[in-house]
């Protein structure tokens, strides 16, 4: 299948607008937010004003209905200056996806317009202390009571967990394994839901990563997404569609680091010449550029396939394979490129005055979240093999 990587006029305009926003309202402050581990509310405000949250939402619910390719272009552009800022959009869309793929009309009407405007923030709470990759092993329980469910359990590492107004989450309503899980919407301030520890991290330091504790939290039946037992499928249908955005985040980080290294290599002098004249540096730059271009092809292709295949709410097949490839490959490239960028800057690469050490720390998470790269490789291999479902 061919994918035209040329942007159309509308995409060019959106990318130009986002680039300007990123340069003016994010880039000058990103290092400080990172240093202070402070969630960047001015970024949320900037996105609200520019209407960026709306991109991934259908027009019927106050969105723009931009294509998946446009969405990844925007995330990529933001990640070139700040991975935390990029993930603010991606997490909003991730948190909303369970409602988009499986929500009732009433749920869509209540939540999507406020999420599209950015008035409310969303988060998706899947991971637990004892179950990350092993989603079918989730232990949070939702017990049926009059009018709804009582939810008890612990969620771990939830992006925007402490600041979200709407949490899409998963708990066990049935027996063990994937078929026992159901999906729910929990609103901020619901009795029995509490924010626990806020994580201190290697990278993505300004992003809010929180523990969520459910203690006999009442969730009305109308807040269950889909049918009982559909939770695992909803989680997978969500991740099938959200991974290209993480891939785009990784791609943007790599591009940001490459740009910094390229500039530095042409300015820094050693042994009487610019270090860019050394073949060792040139080879590193060449490898970085090749990785980035290959990743870009995969990321746009995955997004294009998600757009084509993902119109209904069902599971994706070909698009799922390419989403996993894009996320895995782009994040591995981001890790290598950022390590090389630090190397090209020498001692200055290791110092916080330059952005490349932040890019390197931020790159690492893209190999871990929304399914580790080991899990992505399993998804890719299984998409070619005729095997029974596994992890």
Q: Is 365 in the site for ligand FAD (CB under 6 A)?
A: yes
Among positions 277-316, residues that touch ligand FAD (CB under 6 A) are: none
The correct pick among 19, 174, 368, 383 for binding ligand FAD (CB under 6 A) is 368
Q: Is 158 in the site for ligand FAD (CB under 6 A)?
A: yes
C-alpha–C-alpha distance, residues 316 and 126, integer Å: 20
Which is closer to ligand FAD, CB of 126 or CB of 171? 126
State the virtual CA torsion across 189, 190, 194, 195 in degrees, nearest 10.
-50
Query: Per CB under 6 A, which region of 60-68, 100-108, 311-319, 365-373 contacts ligand FAD?
Result: 365-373
Which is closer to ligand FAD, CB of 329 or CB of 369? 369
* 187 noted as active-site residue: no
Q: Is 132 in the site for ligand FAD (CB under 6 A)?
A: yes
Of 211, 230, 357, 370, the catalytic one is 370
Which is closer to ligand FAD, CB of 155 or CB of 296? 155
Q: Is 157 in the site for ligand FAD (CB under 6 A)?
A: yes
Q: Is 318 in the site for ligand FAD (CB under 6 A)?
A: no
For residues 113 and 61, the answer to whether their CB atoms sit within 8 Å is: yes
For residues 56 and 85, the answer to whether their CB atoms sit within 8 Å is: no
Q: How many CA atoms lie within 13 A of 108 on its CB side?
A: 15
Which is closer to ligand FAD, CB of 336 or CB of 343? 336
For residues 123 and 161, the answer to whether their CB atoms sit within 8 Å is: yes
- Counting every residue written for the chain, the total comes to 391
Angle at Cα 239 formed by Cα 234 and Cα 240, nearest 5°?
95
C-alpha–C-alpha distance, residues 350 and 352, integer Å: 7
For the chain, give percent helix, strand, coil, nearest 5: 55, 15, 30
In 3D, which of 260, 244, 287 has the Cα closest to residue 345? Answer: 260
Q: Is 90 in the site for ligand FAD (CB under 6 A)?
A: no
Shortest Å distance, C-beta 283 to ligand FAD: 30
**Interface with ligand FAD (CB under 6 A):** 123-127, 132-133, 157-159, 201, 204, 209, 365, 368-372, 374-375, 378, 391
Kindly list the catalytic residues: 370
């Amino acid at each position: 299948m061919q994918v035209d990587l040329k942007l159309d006029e509308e995409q060019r305009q959106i990318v130009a607008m986002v680039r300007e926003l990123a340069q003016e309202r994010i880039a000058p402050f990103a290092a400080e937010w990172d240093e202070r581990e402070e969630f960047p509310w001015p970024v949320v405000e900037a996105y609200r004003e520019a209407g960026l949250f709306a991109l991934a939402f259908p027009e019927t619910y106050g969105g723009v209905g931009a294509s998946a390719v446009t969405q990844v272009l925007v995330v990529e552009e933001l990640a070139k200056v700040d991975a935390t800022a990029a993930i603010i959009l991606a997490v909003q869309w991730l948190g909303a996806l369970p409602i988009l793929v499986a929500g009732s009309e009433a749920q869509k009407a209540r939540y999507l317009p406020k999420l599209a405007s950015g008035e409310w923030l969303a988060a998706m709470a899947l991971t637990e202390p004892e179950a990350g990759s092993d989603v079918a092993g989730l232990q949070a329980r939702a017990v049926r009571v009059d009018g709804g469910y009582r939810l008890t359990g612990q969620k771990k590492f939830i992006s925007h967990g402490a600041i979200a107004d709407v949490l899409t989450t998963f708990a066990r309503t049935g027996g063990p394994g994937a078929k026992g899980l159901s999906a729910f919407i929990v609103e901020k301030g619901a009795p029995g839901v509490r924010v626990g520890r806020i994580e201190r991290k290697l990278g993505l330091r300004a992003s809010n990563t929180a523990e969520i504790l459910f203690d006999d939290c009442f969730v009305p039946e109308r807040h269950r997404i889909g049918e009982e037992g559909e939770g695992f499928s909803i989680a997978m249908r969500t991740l099938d569609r959200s991974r290209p955005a993480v891939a785009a985040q990784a791609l943007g980080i790599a591009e940001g680091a490459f740009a910094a290294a390229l500039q530095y290599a042409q300015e820094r002098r050693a042994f009487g010449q610019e270090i860019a004249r050394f073949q060792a540096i040139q080879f590193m730059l060449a490898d970085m550029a090749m990785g980035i271009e290959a990743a870009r092809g995969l990321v746009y292709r995955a997004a294009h396939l998600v757009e084509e295949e993902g119109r209904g709410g069902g599971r994706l097949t070909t698009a799922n394979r390419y989403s996993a490839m894009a996320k895995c490959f782009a994040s591995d490239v981001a890790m290598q490129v950022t390590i090389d960028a630090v190397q090209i800057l020498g001692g200055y690469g290791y110092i916080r005055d330059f952005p490349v050490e932040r890019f390197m720390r931020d790159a690492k998470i893209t190999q871990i979240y929304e399914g580790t790269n080991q899990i992505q490789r399993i998804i890719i291999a299984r998409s070619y093999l005729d095997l029974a479902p596994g992890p």
